[in-house]
Chain A
């Protein structure tokens, strides 16, 4: 999960070093194109992070979810940009009052891209195989499923214990439906049921989808979508200025004026679940094991500075962002107050503290710069160690060998990491673990959200980490393009309704 998270992160922060001139960051609605949509149009979309291979069963990474889920592969249920759960391959679904039985009605007339028909046996096989295959991503998310059965078009999932996260998990990788026993080479090819078909992949350059003319639902609005992988923000801006791309994701909001000056693009800021997490290694023996030291660090950081520097997003003071259930504004827990920070450090006997920040190198230097200067203000010397992502995974994630670490966690509803003492956050609270278990076992959504809210407040009050900002999805969208999703696009990019007019 972190992997997805961290990689997708590149998008948002990659080149914000340019300027600290903040243009206002209010959300803008996606522009409405005026011309007549051209059904034969090809739309070029700039993305930041290219996947290493296309095997969505086994290879982790947000780069895969971003383009493949919804567009190529589908599950029984899906989610809207507003994070609502809606039917997809199931035309209908219901959950029993005790939360133990999930019943889905499978659509008829759905075909895979190879032409074969989707059968209930494919659904049963996909869910069972995922659950049994440890090397498939997210297989543990189906842990509470006891059996999957098909009776005609009715699919029944029976659970051993209620699981309030199950439906949500089924909208993601855990719920993807594949053809039973398919022999396709998932590394480079696909066989899904979605509105687009993979046409070609030029590694290191672009991936092209074409419309699935046999799609069971409403056909896609464009004939072709080309994902252009351009990691560098300046190169992406140049490509836009030269009119080579129609949409840019992972854009730098500081470049708003430059791109809007062309008259061909509008900047769109959508909400996202991106959380800029400053992790504290609080295992025994570390100066950060002392809650006062962690609290002092939180209060020495001017969170608004990050939002200003990114020219997008909003402040965040706890583990749950506003799009997820259980969100509460926790600003009161760690207000910016260097004086209090100094007092806390003195109380903890931690004056002249020297710490190292380990940060993957694809993030902008703005973040470490602000941290170094804020912490220096209260007497903490921060050394920045910029490492490539593989090294980060090895040192920080696996070996937990770090003081402070920054990673942008993009995944929605990922509170579970705070209830996992083995996770690299090194946060261990029996109370939080218990509250989270109760939230999962809850049969009522509102009750689950209330429990998460309580747990999140404890995590924040314990200063388990600091949350530097809640990012936004920053896009530059061509004025002739409509139907471009703008919420949480680092994680999911459903392009079924995308259109482009010739005008």
Chain B
């Protein structure tokens, strides 16, 4: 187990390193730079060159990369070219919106998908099961933006129950308002991600129903449902855990879109704005943190999976 964990950790660190290099290089492909945006078009080419110089944009790529990654290793994500503020501090501030949004989305996705997935598997072939299954297929295919707009139209515009956009200026000092602001965005991501997860739960459940130990339990006198709940569902749970890493990535992508749509001051919206402004040190820091987060979740999921699934432990 320890050997497995160490191997997995090495892979994680390697993944982070490769990701950092890829992030750095791919951003350099973008044309234009922040010096042009700051200088504006009244500035002469000499002035733009001076701004570039003062920002260190004219140094060679390896030097810039080493400087950045050296800072990251010391726990310094760098400073914004535009505002001069600390990237880490900015991310921490925006995380106040994005992390609760992600957790709420995940909670909604799980709450919807697990019971509905199991029910739709048990009712397979019957009208209710088919209806659930078709709904899941449809919802999973819906673009997040469209789902968000529909929810806004219904709950914010028609019913006026929830805010259509924005986050309270007081932030979490006003918890009720902050929560209300996150309900529709989280529901949007949660429903779409939940629909995808539900299809997975359904197929995992169907697989479990067909397993010998479930059939054996049923043969011993349990109803099919009880047999499934007692003996099959733990296995379904394991399968669900293993796709959670993917779900987290999906939720982050969803957050980038949804924060834009709902004008939420989170990491996703900041990322979009910073790419547009070519504030590359900030974009690098943001992407590295997001990538790192997904990789770490994957790492934790793998370890947890191994700890709770006896078959995997024996196999190693």
A residues with CB within 8 A of B: 1-4, 50, 52-53, 58-61, 134-135, 137-138, 140, 185, 187-188, 200, 202-206, 208, 226, 228-232, 234-235, 238-239, 241-242, 244, 388-395, 397-398
Q: Which bucket holds chain B's interface residue count? A: 35 or more
Chain B residues whose C-beta falls within 8 Å of the C-beta of A4 in the assembled complex: 40
What's the least CB distance linking B68 to chain A, in Å? 20
What's the least CB distance linking B232 to chain A, in Å? 44
Q: Which residue of A lies closest to B84 (CB)?
A: A187
Q: Which residue of A lies closest to B82 (CB)?
A: A52
Chain A residues whose C-beta falls within 8 Å of the C-beta of B279 in the assembled complex: 52
Chain B residues whose C-beta falls within 8 Å of the C-beta of A234 in the assembled complex: 149
Partner of B42, one of A140, A202, A228, A394: A140
Partner of B261, one of A138, A232, A242: A232
Bound CA–CA A50/B94 (angstroms): 16
Partner of B260, one of A188, A232, A391, A392: A232
Q: Which stretch of B188-196, B245-253, B262-270, B299-307 is in the interface? A: B262-270
Chain A residues whose C-beta falls within 8 Å of the C-beta of B269 in the assembled complex: 204
The reply to whether B278 and A205 contact each other, CB–CB distance below 8 Å, is no
The reply to whether B157 and A202 contact each other, CB–CB distance below 8 Å, is no
Chain A residues whose C-beta falls within 8 Å of the C-beta of B50 in the assembled complex: 134-135
Chain A residues whose C-beta falls within 8 Å of the C-beta of B38 in the assembled complex: 52, 58-60
The reply to whether B42 and A52 contact each other, CB–CB distance below 8 Å, is no
Bound CA–CA A461/B90 (angstroms): 52
Q: What 1/0 mask marks residues of chain B from 62 to 88 whose CB sits below 8 Å from any chain A CB?
A: 000000000000000000001111000
The reply to whether B90 and A238 contact each other, CB–CB distance below 8 Å, is no
Chain A residues whose C-beta falls within 8 Å of the C-beta of B111 in the assembled complex: none
Chain A residues whose C-beta falls within 8 Å of the C-beta of B208 in the assembled complex: none
- Interface CB pairs A-B, < 8 A, 19: A2-B41, A3-B40, A52-B83, A53-B82, A53-B84, A135-B50, A187-B84, A204-B266, A204-B269, A208-B169, A232-B263, A235-B263, A238-B156, A242-B163, A244-B166, A390-B31, A390-B37, A391-B30, A394-B31
Partner of B40, one of A60, A244, A395: A60
Q: What 1/0 mask marks residues of chain B from 19 to 36 whose CB sits below 8 Å from any chain A CB?
A: 000000000001111001
The reply to whether B31 and A235 contact each other, CB–CB distance below 8 Å, is no
Chain A residues whose C-beta falls within 8 Å of the C-beta of B261 in the assembled complex: 232, 235
Task: Known pairs A230-B263, A234-B149, A242-B160; list 6 more (Cβ under 8 Å).
Answer: A188-B84, A204-B94, A205-B263, A206-B169, A393-B36, A397-B41
What's the least CB distance linking A190 to chain B, in Å? 14
Q: Which residue of A lies closest to B38 (CB)?
A: A59
What's the least CB distance linking A273 to chain B, in Å? 17
Chain A residues whose C-beta falls within 8 Å of the C-beta of B37 in the assembled complex: 3, 52, 60-61, 389-390, 393
Partner of A398, one of B36, B51, B266: B36
Tell me if B200 counts as interface (CB < 8 A to partner A).
no
